């Protein structure tokens, strides 16, 4: 993939306005309504949107400047991780074209081309544990998709005669008005279902259950997704839409996630906090030693380096942050009771400290 700055034709020091202007220019030029069925233009249009999605976001831009594409592209290959589809582009950056989309007025209605592209896209989710996120690996996923039934035959659409479009002529005092729209009977295919094989629905489709293997990118986060080209539903021509696999993090009994760091709370005994200790703590894929300094306070946070989540596409890992709490027992055994009473006697009359209420 080319450099995002090169794609938009701006310098590395370009400001937000220059980036927006550059993107708008390219998006207009390669807009799908202006370049129907032009794969090259569609590619350029998507590339520009991808570049803009990163460079227009201050945080993402900083990450990109630092790590390059690998900051966003953990999957490699072309069905890229986080790669965008047309709907994303329009839903996210539609406003770039101005309050109302100029193409609607220039080209008469919507961006949908008059020919259907393929069957519907599918969205599925895959639940990954923290362990999966650290170790990567493969997971099997069962999906249900609609496929063109075997033996299905098509006939030319009687309504549009195969053109996929219908032209309506209305007479007015200004003369004849013609308007063209997608054929409602064949939805633009130009063909309709003729012979439906047994077991297929009225659209000539069959629901099929398939098992696919998903490679889990290490460091993947809740809400990240992967696009699998042509693994969605098929249309009557056998052309499939895409499959979007959304990652969902499984919540953990005591770990939680903050960016690439793992958070854990440890509850220490009073004496441990006073004298310090060396303890074993769980990590997301094993255990680690943690040195508790003497006199540690509740709420204090200790950092265990390199025990967090991997950065996408990197071997570097975040840290584990350990928040300290102190256990105040409500039940004591005889021995504990005795020494605590001793302590009470010693500390009796000790001055009480007052502090500002802070969270």
Backbone phi, psi, residue 162, to 5°: 100, -5
Instruction: Report CA-CA distances (Å) from 26 to 9, 31, 102.
Output: 9, 8, 15
Tokens, residue 219: 């460091």
3-class secondary structure, 2: coil
Question: Which CB atom, from 160 or from 236, has the smaller least distance to Zn ion?
Answer: 160
| Position among 28, 118, 120, 159 found at the interface with Zn ion (CB under 5 A) | 159
> Which residue in the set 89, 124, 157, 220 belongs to the binding site for Zn ion (CB under 5 A)?
157
CB-based burial of residue 24 (10 Å sphere; 0-12 exposed, 13-18 middle, 19+ buried)?
middle
Alpha-carbon distance 271 to 162, whole Å?
Answer: 84
State the minimum distance, in angstroms, from the CB of residue 53 to Zn ion.
Answer: 37
> Which of 56, 70, 185, 256 forms a contact with Zn ion (CB under 5 A)?
185
Task: Say if residues 154 and 194 touch (Cβ distance below 8 Å).
Answer: yes
**Terminal Cα-to-Cα distance of the chain (whole angstroms):** 46
Q: How far is the CB of 114 from Zn ion (least distance, A)?
A: 11
Q: Establish if 160 lies at the interface with Zn ion (CB under 5 A).
A: yes
SS3 state at 207: strand
Nearer to Zn ion, 55 or 186 (CB): 186
Among residues 126, 133, 146, 183, the one that binds Zn ion under rule CB under 5 A = 183
Going by the DSSP 8-state scheme, the letter that residue 97 receives in this structure is: G
Residue among 115 and 131 whose Cβ is closer to Zn ion = 115
For the bound state, the minimum distance from the C-beta of residue 113 to Zn ion, rounded and expressed in Å, comes to 15
114 contributes a contact to Zn ion by CB under 5 A: no
Q: Which stretch binds Zn ion (CB under 5 A): 55-63, 146-154, 180-188, 348-356?
A: 180-188
User: Taking the complex as a whole, how short is the minimal distance between the CB of residue 103 and Zn ion, in angstroms?
Assistant: 25
Each residue 46-75 as x (binds Zn ion by CB under 5 A) or -, in order, gives: ------------------------------
What is 261-328 written as a DSSP string?
EEEEEEEE-HHHHHH-EEEEEEETTEEEEEEE-TTPPTT-EEEETT-SPBPTT-S-B--EEEEEEE--
Q: How far apart are CA 321 and CA 30, in angstroms?
A: 47
Only one of the segments 176-184, 193-201, 228-236, 252-260 lies at the binding site for Zn ion (rule: CB under 5 A); that segment is: 176-184
Of 183-191, 224-232, 300-308, 322-330: span binding Zn ion (CB under 5 A): 183-191
* # residues near Zn ion by CB under 5 A: 6
**185 or 256: CB nearest Zn ion:** 185
Contact footprint for Zn ion (CB under 5 A)? 157, 159-160, 183, 185-186
């Amino acid at each position: 993939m080319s450099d995002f700055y090169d794609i938009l034709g701006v310098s590395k020091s370009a400001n937000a306005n220059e980036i927006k202007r550059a993107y708008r220019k390219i998006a207009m030029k390669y807009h799908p309504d202006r370049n129907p069925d032009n794969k090259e233009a569609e590619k350029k249009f998507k590339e520009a949107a991808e570049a803009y999605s990163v460079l227009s976001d201050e945080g993402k831009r900083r990450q990109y400047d630092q790590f390059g594409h690998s900051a966003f592209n953990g999957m490699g290959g072309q069905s890229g991780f986080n790669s965008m589809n047309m709907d994303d582009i329009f839903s996210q950056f539609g406003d770039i074209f101005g309050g109302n989309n100029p193409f609607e007025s220039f080209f008469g209605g919507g961006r949908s081309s008059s020919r259907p592209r393929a069957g519907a896209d599918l969205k599925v989710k895959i639940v990954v544990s923290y362990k999966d996120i650290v170790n990567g690996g493969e997971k099997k996923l069962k999906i249900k998709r609609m496929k063109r039934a075997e033996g299905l035959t098509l006939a030319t659409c009687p309504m549009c005669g195969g053109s996929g479009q219908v032209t309506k002529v209305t007479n007015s005092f200004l003369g004849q008005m013609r308007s063209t729209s997608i054929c409602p009977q064949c939805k633009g295919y130009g063909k309709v279902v003729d012979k439906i094989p047994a077991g297929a629905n009225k659209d000539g489709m069959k629901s099929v259950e398939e098992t696919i293997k998903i490679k889990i990118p290490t460091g993947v986060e809740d809400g990240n997704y992967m696009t699998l080209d042509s693994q969605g539903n098929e249309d009557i021509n056998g052309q499939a839409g895409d499959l979007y696999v959304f990652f969902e993090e499984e919540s953990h009994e005591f770990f939680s996630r903050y960016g690439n760091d793992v958070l854990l709370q440890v509850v220490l005994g009073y004496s441990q906090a006073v004298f310090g200790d060396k303890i074993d703590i769980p990590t997301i894929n094993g255990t680690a030693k943690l040195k508790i300094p003497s006199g540690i306070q509740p709420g204090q946070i200790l950092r265990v380096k390199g025990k967090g989540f991997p950065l996408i596409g990197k071997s570097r890992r975040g840290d584990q942050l350990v928040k300290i709490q102190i256990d105040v027992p409500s039940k004591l055994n005889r021995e504990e009771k005795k020494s605590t009473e001793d302590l009470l006697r010693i500390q009796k009359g000790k001055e009480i400290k007052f502090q500002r209420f802070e969270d």
